[in-house]
Structure 1
């Protein structure tokens, strides 16, 4: 797709401030996804979680972050993006304070639910504020590239920061660190961000909101349960079945209500549908690869959680590089070629990891390959963001960014259970280094295959908004 770029070459001072503010919020929320993972055993011992219930500290957050994203993306369009952004950051600050002070499992889980809801509100609102603050073209591509780079780097930073805070101070600082960030954003945002909402307030599609939110919650719960227990667990299968039924009902509702939450027409646009599929699989493949390599480094090579987190610093640098160069790649070859090429490079960097061995000599190749894969993955993610939000009026940007954010959150949530199930099935309950390595290698083959499949699908089917192949 070729776009005539009429945007000014340089950002204005207000645009720079807007970008700094929104990127600060997005980075902080990305860090929250992973900052508690390495500290879970310590939290369980101090707060009183049993071993089998520890996973709910992460699951409660992921359920709300993924399940409510689409709803809040539309709420931002209807009632004001800045208003929802500020409300979400205020909720994040309060929830983080409660989480840091929690002394019981119920209170800690309440804080994690609130943090998930804050993420579901802030992420699409921030992204739609970003896309409406920068005109379509090179400036928006640059802003989306930086946003994607910092969000991806945030997942890696969270693992490293969580280990450092837990070892040097306390796991409670993984919560407390959000409070000054939220305060800064709440003080600065009203003077920097302009409110954006329609002149006529449309009615919220309540049946659509209920069915899609409950459907997404069921899907995420089912995937999480499958990864932790097995795909044959009745709770996993039942939740997935309920989720599919509810999403089917949502589709029927959207075709009948006067003011749908998601107009069916927008999902028929090639850029929106295939762009979001590419984004979903970009997050599925990279976040699950981090999980697989974490198993490899800890279970096979015997790394500590902190050393494992530090090993992913190279991947984090790669994602930042990818976010910086992505707009230039897109400007040179176009979004479709950028996405297809990026998935090809990511597959080429992922496949050799399936042949990792049992000695530390494999660490250097791992670092080089994860760096290359991280660069490619971010080019694909920025290409997806540009594709999924281009050619739409400002009034639909909240919806488009809500869909894009939902693809991101669900992709992050889906990847680990899918790859975990492959490892578990291959290892047959054996947690010896050899069995774990065999399971990890098989899952990495599947991961690389998904990259290839996604690139082929985008190459074959991604069309521009006029219905032409891009």
Structure 2
């Protein structure tokens, strides 16, 4: 029995195996999200063996994020153009091959090139996978449950990266954080053709190359500017130059799309208010999430002196709460509606982040961190599931890949910008406290406190967007 049919009938495809197919798709998405964070713990060991300085190590992360974030929209449209399953399999194969090459790297150049190919492959994989999900579950109730699984995977992948990175690096070496993708990716490549039949093109036959070039350049410049903030500071000319380039190319893209007969991103898609709200909220929540997991890991290791494994284990309650929330949220959406559920989730997320901001420099995990971690997990799980559902609500088959590309791009761009800006704020606060004679641990804690309050502000702003925008 098939899971997907021709473009004209795929919206009605049904099969008992679609839940198994969802599990395999979620496994691939887990790898994509995991790979953005699992490498962090391995960087010191990796740098020592490959003789990479701090700037070069930053590019191990940046090369992946740049390619992933800037090519996502193009990847989604290619999936609509050439078939979602085909592009998903190509992206997965590229991701597996690049992971193997990264683990075999004998120098910085080979590793950075492999990371860039990983990111580009993920930009094909991620939007195509979400598009396949929307076709597998056309009925609203089942789709909400499927998106619950999807949202849980997205949140768990980020949290699990710290734990798995520490375990693998300590036991098997830094290469294992890349090699772990190979057998898992192989399972995905074997299983998907058996579970999902080939789907045909649903987008226009011509690819909008000027639009693709301008938006890819704009996103590349935007993510590059965010990465430059971390390295050079907010006032550096490189940051402002890349920011200006991103704005100019973004304006060029809008002008091109208005005139294109077959646009890469039909601007009319933003008339779907749920899609627009979903992407704006995902931008803000993605910014809060990436900054949170980065700061929480550094706080636990630099201030509380946890080792890598303890740091990962300490984030398990947050991940567990996220999973539970993701399972419950679909029924809440059915009763209260997506926007009220989203607003409530964001309030809980903001509350947990404010609570965490008051953790002291000598915090006890049970007394000071467990409560806010659980609250953050519940809020984040609800926010991810509901936001993703809004972002694909009412999208037709021919734009499913585009919708997947948009929401993934919003998450990645938001994460890059949020981490860069909030990390800069935390650094300034820490330096100011240090200059005033405050002890190092207290100064670091003060900086992280401002960062956590900043993430709470992003969650509150996202809630205001969710409640304030009119329904589609």
Q: Contact (CA 8 Å) 2:204, 2:262: kept in 1 or not?
A: no
Tell me which residue corresponds to 1:455. Answer: 463
Tell me which residue corresponds to 2:134. Answer: 131
Q: Secondary structure at the match of 1:198?
A: coil
Tell me which residue corresponds to 2:6. Answer: none
Counterparts of residues 172-191 of structure 1 (less than 5 Å):
172-191=175-194
Aligned with residue 442 of structure 2, among 425, 434, 438: 434
Unaligned runs of 5+ in 2: 1-13
List structure 1 runs of 4+ shifted beyond 6 angstroms: none
Q: Secondary structure at the match of 1:307?
A: helix
Distance change >3 Å, CA 200–CA 304, structure 1 → 2: closer
Q: Contact (CA 8 Å) 2:202, 2:397: kept in 1 or not?
A: no
Distance change >3 Å, CA 450–CA 199, structure 1 → 2: closer
1:140 aligns with 2:143: yes
Counterparts of residues 66-465 of structure 1 (less than 5 Å):
66-198=69-201, 201-361=204-364, 363-428=366-431, 430=434, 432-464=440-472
Structure 2 CA distance for aligned equivalents of residues 368 and 165 of structure 1: 28
Q: Contact (CA 8 Å) 2:363, 2:369: kept in 1 or not?
A: no
Structure 2 CA distance for aligned equivalents of residues 116 and 353 of structure 1: 32
CA RMSD of superposed structures (Å) = 1.5
Q: Contact (CA 8 Å) 2:81, 2:202: kept in 1 or not?
A: no
TM-score by length of 2: 0.93
Tell me which residue corresponds to 2:7. Answer: none
CA displacement at 1:301 relative to structure 2:
1.5
Q: Contact (CA 8 Å) 2:339, 2:466: kept in 1 or not?
A: yes
CA displacement at 1:33 relative to structure 2:
1.1
Structure 1 CA distance for aligned equivalents of residues 444 and 366 of structure 2: 17
Q: Contact (CA 8 Å) 1:289, 1:444: kept in 2 or not?
A: yes
Structure 1 CA distance for aligned equivalents of residues 189 and 355 of structure 2: 46
Unaligned runs of 5+ in 1: 1-10, 465-470
Q: Secondary structure at the match of 2:189?
A: helix
Tell me which residue corresponds to 2:3. Answer: none
Q: Contact (CA 8 Å) 2:41, 2:308: kept in 1 or not?
A: yes
Count of residues in correspondence between the two structures: 454
Q: Contact (CA 8 Å) 1:274, 1:458: kept in 2 or not?
A: yes
